Amino acid sequence: MIVDCAVYRDGRRSEGPEDLSDALEEARAAGGFVWIGLYEPSAHEFDLVTREFALHPLAVEDALKAHQRPKLEVYDDSLFMVLKPVWYEPESDRVSAGEVMVFVGDCFVVTVRHGEGSPLAAVRHRLEDDPEMLATGPTSVLYAISDTTVDHYLDVATELQTDLEELEAEVFQPERGGTRHTASRIYNFKRQVLEFRRATVPLVVPLTRLGATGPIGIGVPFVHDKARPFFRDVNDHLARVNESVEGLDRLVSDILAAHLAQMSVRQNDDMRKISAWAAMAAVPTMIAGIYGMNFDHMPELHWLWSYPAVILLMAGLEVLLYQTFKRRGWL
């Protein structure tokens, strides 16, 4: 479905005609551009846009099917970029991702949005409040979407850092060192970091191409020269995000290894305690077993004080074993 359609002249908005062909002609005649926003369009709904703006069929297929990785494709009549906005769900401690596809031509921008967490209305309002930026043409829309997406990455990275600190406190608490559910929480956190990386890491190359002025960026059309420094600034922010994500990934792996090591140490401690108690139980069992044998001729069998003497012997040996194990840290 078409969410919004407007023509922009000299950085100012004017409502576009309902007919897309008329809107495009009006934008070209006025030296401006038309911006059409769509949300999860069907093939039939997108067919009209494809014909009017001569979009490349491969890019159209990607825009309809979604589930693409961030990328930048250059075609004869348009530029096609895929971004994956992410958002954090505090109720479930999950990272979810949507997709935004942007078609940029000489006098048009077509945005296709998939997912609930990537609204572009705020981006449109932000641009409309900055006519100077909007006057640079369709590139300003691509920059604003990229900048907003990366800014949200920074927010999600902050939320994940908070979750990681909670996991660290749980694993390294002196009393228990985590519970039996801690390992599953760590693994789930690692999956969230992986989902985050799938959105941030592949975006480096497209932003580098958009912001470059040398051989890398010279082949990217439809990008205003004044916008290239802004894309480089977005790329710098993305570099900070990727450094943070790499740090989170390393730390969560270290935390998982530390948790497993602590579990192994606790199991060893438990086995030592069980072994110590078993050794203490073996002494009276051995003595009772010897004197429980049905022999007539045994030392001190008929002695009056044999029973209390054996009891005292067993008690003394138990105390001696207990002190020995306690001194060695087994109990």
Q: What tokens does 167 get?
A: 């996991």
Q: What tokens does 275 get?
A: 């072994």
Sheet holding 71-74, edge to edge: 12-15, 2-9, 33-39, 108-114, 99-104, 79-83, 71-74
Distance from chain centroid for Cα 4: 31
DSSP structure string for 106-133 = SSEEEEEEESTT---HHHHHHHHT-HHH
Tell me how far CA of residue 299 lies from CA of 4, 121, 296, in angstroms: 104, 98, 10
- Spell out the residues 6+ positions from residue 56 whose beta carbon is closer than 8 angstroms to its own: 73, 75, 76, 77, 78, 80
Tens-digit pLDDT profile for the chain (331 aa)? 778 888 888 888 887 666 777 777 887 777 888 888 888 888 888 888 888 888 999 999 999 888 889 999 999 888 999 999 998 888 787 888 889 999 998 888 999 999 876 678 888 888 888 888 888 889 999 999 999 999 999 999 999 988 888 888 888 775 655 566 777 888 888 888 998 999 999 999 999 988 875 555 466 888 888 888 899 999 999 999 999 999 988 888 888 887 777 777 777 777 777 777 777 777 777 777 766 666 565 666 666 666 777 778 778 877 887 787 777 766 6
Distance from chain centroid for Cα 56: 32
Phi, psi angle pair for 114, to nearest 5° = -125, 130
Q: Specify whether the CB–CB gap between 57 and 51 falls below 8 A.
A: no
Adjacent-strand bridge partners of 112: 38, 101
